[in-house]
Amino acid sequence: MKHIVSGQEVAVKILKAILKSGRVAHAYLLKGPAGSGKTALARQFAKGLLCLNPGPAGSGLEAGADTGLSCNMCESCSRVDKGSHPDLLIIEKEGTSIRISASHGMIMEVLTRPLISKRKVFIVDDAEALTAEAANALLKLLEEPPAYVNFILTTSNETAIPATVVSRCQVIPLRALPTGAKDDVDVEVPVDAILRASPVDLALEHSKADSQDRHRFLAALELRFAQRLFSAAMGYNRDESGEHMECELHGEHEMSGKGGDIALMENFRVLRAITRARRRLAANTNPFLVFCTLFMDIQKLITEEI
């Protein structure tokens, strides 16, 4: 796992920025459709969290490096590659579900301090398969985890995961990888226009679309704000060294002038708002109300560009 997951460069850059900043949350949710590479990326991210040579000193994290999210040279990276790292625990389905026994095992492991790395990382693959009892046990771990513990969840259906669990994770969306000539999320998302338009008018427009087009729009919106999150994370890193960053995404000129912490939290919260919109549509909530709430949330959260 020494190479970037093909087609998920934006998500990889976001995770690299998180690792370089040192501002690591206790839990992350990598969500994307089947075939998007979320499981492989979760393992690469875990490898980076456990790496003994983190930050710019680790060759895998230097500017322009293509070796992924870790140095790929230390004992920890070697043990991850061999599947023998004592501080990396992978929770997978037993049959069709993840049962309470797996959560009990996590509880026991959480109480044990790391042996090789400074962290212990738990990957929960296909988190939508958690039984209600297992999800409740995981929630208790997410509410008050030890400082040395990190959780990485993956899912292709976040609406099947309890909202209380999702709310305690930083959500990293992965794009659908197209199999044909047309990209499934190749939809223009002009953020400036969304920030200036009437939420009611926008909601009327998008609620009238069919379900497939609504899905495409939300997927494109997620990708757009994931790119903005990467921009904000990189801006935070550069601002720390007294530099200023410019970047151009989808033709929009964006600067990192806004405070790094504020910009990071704004974009994370917008991604959560999009997740809530997906859940409400899946629950057959009135599409107009869903989109009206979403656009109002976006305009409230992104405060400095109107």
**165 pLDDT more than 60:** yes
| Rounded mean pLDDT, 207-232 | 81
Closest CA to 10 of 247, 246, 187: 247
Higher pLDDT, 83 or 4: 83
Domain ranges of the chain: 1-177, 178-306
SS3 state at 182? coil
Q: What is this structure's pTM?
A: 0.66
Residues 6+ away with beta carbon under 8 Å from 227: 10, 249, 250
pLDDT at 138: 93
Give the pLDDT confidence of 101-112 residue by residue, as tens digits.
Answer: 888 888 889 989
Higher pLDDT, 179 or 164: 164
Give the C-alpha separation, 23 to 31, whole Å.
Answer: 21
pLDDT at 235: 61
- Mean pLDDT over the full length of the chain: 80
Segment (H or E) for 30? strand 27-31
pLDDT at 179: 53
Q: What confidence tier does 22 reach under pLDDT thresholds 50, 70, 90? A: confident
Name the CATH superfamily for 1-177.
P-loop containing nucleotide triphosphate hydrolases (3.40.50.300)
Q: What Å distances lie between residue 224 and 11, 74, 106, 241, CA to CA?
A: 11, 35, 34, 26
**204 pLDDT more than 60:** yes
**182 pLDDT more than 90:** no
**63 pLDDT more than 70:** no
